[in-house]
Amino acid sequence: MAQKPSIPKGTRDFGQVEMARRNYIFDTIKGVFQLYGFQQIETPSMENIGTLMGKYGEEGDKLLFRIQNSGEKAALAPEKGLRYDLTVPFARYVVQHREELSFPFKRFQIQPVWRADRPQKGRYREFYQCDVDVIGSDSLLGELELIQIVEEVYRRLGIRVCLHLNNRKILAGIAEVIGAPDKIVDITVAIDKLDKIGVEAVNAELKERGLNEEQVQALQPILNLNGTNAEKLTALKTILANSEIGLKGVEEMETIFDELEIVHCTLDIELDLCLARGLNYYTGAIFEVKALDAQIGSITGGGRYDNLTGIFGLPGVSGVGISFGADRIYDVLTELDLFPKELQSTTQILFATFGQDELHYALRWTKKLRAHNIAVEVYPEPTKMKKQMGYADAKQIPYVAIVGGDEMSSNTVMLKNMASGEQKQVTIEELVKTLNC
């Protein structure tokens, strides 16, 4: 036989069980998005290369997959590339369709993206992103709703999480009050390591990064911030008293916490000044969600941006969004054994038969069962019973209806519960009742 065929490295086939589990995640998330009035869109897999280039930094440009028609010479190829994320195509979409859209525009998008990254464990060249954004409003209700969505998605999935919350304006305020407004990135990178390397090492790094002794000392009250979120915010108000932007950030935080109380949000939320993801891009709130019972890093993240569509010539449109990491959520659900058991099989019952007449008899039953929306299969040949049972086992079908001459003459089937091994003769009415439970 020829060599087994294979797929490109960094890509994956998803079999039936994986697909059922992935659909469970996506359907759960979609269901929550829709409760909040977000609507789905899709953009093409390929974008003009000009839409993509220069949007992800120099490194990102190198990770773009380019597309070429088979018949074309490379030099003549119209320049297209595969989608690298959902954010840039979304910005392109909003600008291109702005006359058709009504703002605030609440959209979600669940599609694969492609990156020519070096494949490694947990990093793929094709993977799904699952983004939800509201754009065209600077109301903090956007932040509130996204936090509520996080709460509800993980409640439904059964994953205990902590949401880390920060605000770019507070970080800017800190840099301002210590007299190093241009050092906001350096400061954030350094204090991000506080948990890992301790305060001494952080201070050393801050000096390496160009802060003077006075500035490092001024940062100490911030490094030592603790207590409840409310206590931290109170302390920050004093620390940031001379920074307009810093106080604005604190005020935004307070508004969000107040509104979360109004809607009785019970999510574990931590004001985390070390959180800095996408710092060059976010302008307000910054979110990151971590699973409490699995060591896997961030499973959801996002923030407020004020200039997403500016790259396509439409400035001044504020939005806020988050992205759910489907692959990591999958891994958490697997590790914690949280996938519902019934996902294993979509088929509720298999008919196993001893002969052609029995097979025809079974066909009549399937018609009635499917009319009750019961998923049914008939083993396609009246072959050895062991083989038919093996098929049910492999597909984890919970019931088998065995049909022989006795069953046909009494207008019944022999119903076998595959988990318990229990068997009993049942009529069609009894069968419908059993399967509809």
The piece of 97-105, 232-240, 273-281, 282-290 that touches its own copies (CB under 8 A) is 97-105
- Closer to its own copies at the Cβ: 33 or 240? 33
Least gap, CB of 122 to its own copies (angstroms): 17
The piece of 165-173, 278-286, 361-369, 410-418 that touches its own copies (CB under 8 A) is 361-369
Give the residue carrying structure tokens 């097979």.
359
Structure tokens at 20: 């059922």
Least gap, CB of 61 to its own copies (angstroms): 6
Judged by CB under 8 A, how many residues of this single chain contact its own copies? 99
- Whether the Cβ atoms of residue 269 and residue 229 lie closer than 8 Å to each other: yes
Least gap, CB of 197 to its own copies (angstroms): 34
- Closer to its own copies at the Cβ: 146 or 236? 146
Least gap, CB of 280 to its own copies (angstroms): 21
Separation between Cα atoms, residue 353 and residue 76, nearest integer Å: 62
Q: Do strands 268-271 and 161-167 pair parallel, antiparallel, or not at all (unpaired)?
A: parallel
Least gap, CB of 212 to its own copies (angstroms): 41
Separation between Cα atoms, residue 133 and residue 36, nearest integer Å: 11
The piece of 169-177, 202-210, 334-342, 368-376 that touches its own copies (CB under 8 A) is 368-376
The piece of 3-11, 157-165, 233-241, 325-333 that touches its own copies (CB under 8 A) is 3-11
- For 80, the enclosing helix (H) or strand (E) is strand 80-82
Close Cβ partners of 355 (under 8 Å, ≥ 6 residues apart): 382
Q: Binding to its own copies by residue 11, rule CB under 8 A?
A: yes
**Closest by Cα among 286, 258, 291 to 273:** 286
> Which of 129, 130, 132, 142 touches its own copies (CB under 8 A)?
142
Least gap, CB of 374 to its own copies (angstroms): 8
The piece of 94-102, 213-221, 283-291, 326-334 that touches its own copies (CB under 8 A) is 94-102
- Closer to its own copies at the Cβ: 56 or 277? 56
Separation between Cα atoms, residue 77 and residue 66, nearest integer Å: 10
Using CB under 8 A, which residues numbered 220 to 259 contact its own copies?
259
Least gap, CB of 243 to its own copies (angstroms): 25
Q: Binding to its own copies by residue 264, rule CB under 8 A?
A: yes
- Whether the Cβ atoms of residue 114 and residue 126 lie closer than 8 Å to each other: yes
Q: Binding to its own copies by residue 23, rule CB under 8 A?
A: yes
* Helix, coil or strand: residue 412: coil
Q: Binding to its own copies by residue 155, rule CB under 8 A?
A: no
- Closer to its own copies at the Cβ: 139 or 417? 139
**Closest by Cα among 95, 65, 70 to 80:** 65
Least gap, CB of 201 to its own copies (angstroms): 36
Q: Binding to its own copies by residue 159, rule CB under 8 A?
A: no
Which of the 8 DSSP states describes residue 34? H
- Whether the Cβ atoms of residue 63 and residue 69 lie closer than 8 Å to each other: no
Burial class (CB in 10 A: 0-12, 13-18, 19+), 391: middle
Using CB under 8 A, which residues numbered 109 to 128 contact its own copies?
112, 114, 116, 126
**Closest by Cα among 12, 20, 49 to 343:** 20
Using CB under 8 A, which residues numbered 283 to 312 contact its own copies?
312
> Which of 359, 401, 402, 431 touches its own copies (CB under 8 A)?
359
- For 423, the enclosing helix (H) or strand (E) is strand 423-426
- Whether the Cβ atoms of residue 117 and residue 125 lie closer than 8 Å to each other: yes
Residue 150's Cβ-side half-sphere holds a number of Cα atoms within 13 Å equal to: 35
Least gap, CB of 327 to its own copies (angstroms): 13
Using CB under 8 A, which residues numbered 374 to 413 contact its own copies?
374-378, 380-381, 390-391, 394-395, 397
